[in-house]
A and B are shown apart, each in its own frame.
Chain A
Amino acid sequence: MKRDCMTEKKILLQTEKPGRYIGNEINISKKNPREAAVRFAFCFPDVYEVGMSHLGMQIIYSMLNAESGFYCERAFMPWTDYRPDPLCSLETDSPLGVFDFLGFTMQYELGATNALEMLSMAHVPLLASDRDDKNPLVCAGGPCVCNPEPLADFFDFFYIGEAETVLVNILSLYAEHKKNGGKRREFLHKINGLDGVYVPSLKKEGAVVKKVYAADLDAAHFPCKPLVPLIEAVHNRAVVELARGCARGCRFCQAGYIYRPMRERSPDTLFAQAANILDCTGYEEISLASLSASDYSNFLPFADRLLEYTQPRRVNISLPSLRANAESLAVLEKTQRVRKSSLTVAPEAGSQRLRDAINKNLTEDEILDGCRMAFESGFDKIKLYFMSGLPTETDADCIEIARLSEKIVDQYYTLPKEKRRRQVSVNVSVSCFVPKPHTPFEREAQATAEQFAHKHRLIKNAIRKKQIAFKYHDAEASILEGIIARGGRELGRVILRAWELGARFDGWTEKFDPAVWRRAFDETGIDPVYFAHRARGPDKPQPWDFVDMGVGKIFLAGEREKAYAGITTPDCKNNCSNCGACFNE
């Protein structure tokens, strides 16, 4: 064995999980990089186990590699115990600097410093303005880029919306361009103005960038031979995507608006994909992904049909987004080979008044009935998700979180004694509301750290039952998330400074250091309070106004009015409220 090879091996073995850095997965794409007209490195700014569980990565990887002229490889953010020099792709160990494209997916605002660190490890200039023809084109997509401005300094271009609709086209244009010896500048001019493409360096006043989406999910590419990691990922399971988008219109939920309109895959397509994926992965679990699985039309007949296939093969069906009602519990009962003892319910707000304001169409009776039925069918743990700091929230609303949780505990004791085998436990988890662009609450002031602390104290002190465990999320990280989500281009200076000061893995509680960010704001002279805690008037322009995500501004403003008036908006599956997403042609 060569000596440097042994040194490398030794270094990897000293890391927490060497399996993160070796690739070699089942269904990996093996091509000769020299024969590829375009080399694309899919870059995920978080650790391997997180990235490998991300459906978007699997879609893009499979879609690009289905084209004979392209080779898509992968790179993930190494954990803090390993800093390769340079950062290389998992497929062919190629330094990222030699690729034509580095394509990042920005799933989470606090992943920004990790993206910079990956560029730095790749020896690629961090600022788009510093790159030249020798460097890869650095681009990004994902939900965060529906306000691309805070990241605009670092990326040559963004793809806004669902990448599967534009990426192949962009890469084909590039292949042509490269063959003719074209320069990067000319290429950026060429793609500027395509639907879904935003080139920050060519931004024109008044120009609108329209998101792209797959109108027909049955025709959209789906990875039927997904990569199977060799180490434990966040999820080790097959995935089919029932639907994209959500018709419910919860007013705090960015995903609920930016992925509109709601589209479903047909049962036939899903069934064929499921069978295929299970065969070539060997997984023992399949997840039915969507923002709200129980809203899928004819969910029960589809679940039954799938069960007929999965049961003899010892495959479990998992349903990540189920509402707690009789129908869903019936499905759960059938699909879970191994009975899970814990059920998750997300009332989001404690009082009916506030649930109406945020348009969480869920009544207290529905919540209590759902929990009682869950207890009856053998669950003895309930996880409850709430948010604090929602618009219009009062102290009384916070205390209602405690009351509702206690009523849920009481439901358990309505069961006859012989059915109460164990102590019931209700875990209450309270997160901090973050106003996001392209939602009705995009212009709200976010609560301050002190206000969040006050709310959390109120809830905590109001809980009197020992069966309830209370947990809340870190307010400072949520406030930073909000600042980056709604910031303008000047935020790039803060992100860069924070990275210089050593900020990494800001989305990981144990790594997030608010002091570093405070210093970064200080040194760049940018006031975080201005971005976080100021109510933005209805007429003031916002950094993301030029991005058209389908849902209209007037509709959003109207939804905000209705929130303050406590008026709900019905589910739009049968009751279109003219948000604009369906008529955006």
Chain B
Amino acid sequence: MNNLLLRFSKTDRMVFIGHLDLLKVFQTAVRRAGLAAAYSKGFNPHMLLTFALPLPLGAAGYDEHALLVTERGETDAAARLNRAMPDGLKITESRMLDENEKPNAAARVAAADYSAEIIAPQNLAEQIAKLLSSEKILIEKKSKSKTETADIKPLIHYVKTDGEKIFMRLAAGSAKHLNPTSVLNLICDGYADVTRLRLLSENRGEFGPLFL
């Protein structure tokens, strides 16, 4: 099996394109670029393309990850794909994974770093200090059938500010995930412009990149 790792950024107008549409944009780009993508078997074969973690609609991302299974080793995939991509999507790095590297982008995600901008920032430092001083941070989580309260404090690794912007590291991935807007709603009112700066894996309490 050949696994092609794609690191990419999603910025500018592309922040308005949701995850399912992004998947289609990638699929057609792979075909336009002429990469030898592998497909699933069965009646309705689909391209073997997966993403580490969907970005929320409206958020930019600077260190997103996708994995494509290919029929052969591809060289120069970043340059070829970039010629086929719309503005605002840029492959920043591409390489074939080694034999011993597990192609499990999604499972590696443990946390993510975010920055957020607010239309009219006010007393951000104070608000953050107040939030973090409480023993538990309870929020309501709505699911289809019921509403539950959950303590999100353990999912917050840090929240800080330079007075203008907010910076956060939050649990992310399939096991434990905290949405950045859940935290931002507790700090400020109104719209916040969110950027996901990087995706992180965890190894014995240390955070590091998804793939070295």
Contact = CB atoms under 8 A, between A and B. Distances in A.
Contacts of B176: none
B44 interface: yes
Contacts of B193: 1, 6, 9
B25 A230 contact: yes
Interface stretch (B10-18, B127-135, B149-157): B10-18
A6 B17 CA distance: 17
Given A24-B88, A282-B27, A6 B191 contact: yes
A24 B86 contact: yes
A29 interface: no
Interface in B121-172: none
B42 to A, nearest CB: 10
B119 A230 contact: no
Interface stretch (B28-36, B61-69, B102-110, B196-204): B28-36
B13 A23 contact: yes
A10 B57 CA distance: 11
A26 B28 contact: yes
A22 B28 contact: no
Interface residues on A, range: 20 to 34
Given A236-B24, A338-B44, A13 B16 contact: yes
A230 B31 CA distance: 15
Interface string B182-210: 00000000010100000000000000000
A351 to B, nearest CB: 40
B13 to A, nearest CB: 4
Nearest to B37: A314
A24 B84 contact: no
A25 interface: yes
Most buried by A among B16, B21, B119: B16
Contact of B58 (A9, A25, A314): A9
Given A7-B119, A236-B24, A282-B30, A22 B16 contact: yes
Given A18-B57, A230-B25, A282-B84, A314 B45 contact: yes
Contacts of B191: 6, 9-10, 13
B199 to A, nearest CB: 22
Interface string B85-96: 011100000000
A231 B117 contact: no
Given A7-B119, A282-B31, A230 B58 contact: no
A314 B28 contact: no
A282 B29 contact: yes
Contacts of B29: 26, 282
Contacts of B18: 19, 231
B28 A232 contact: no
B128 to A, nearest CB: 21
Interface of B: 13-18, 20-21, 24-25, 27-32, 39, 43-45, 57-58, 84, 86-88, 117, 119, 191, 193
24 contacts: A6-B117, A7-B119, A9-B15, A9-B58, A10-B119, A10-B191, A18-B57, A19-B16, A22-B16, A22-B17, A24-B14, A26-B28, A26-B32, A230-B14, A230-B25, A231-B17, A231-B21, A232-B24, A280-B32, A281-B32, A282-B29, A282-B30, A282-B32, A284-B27
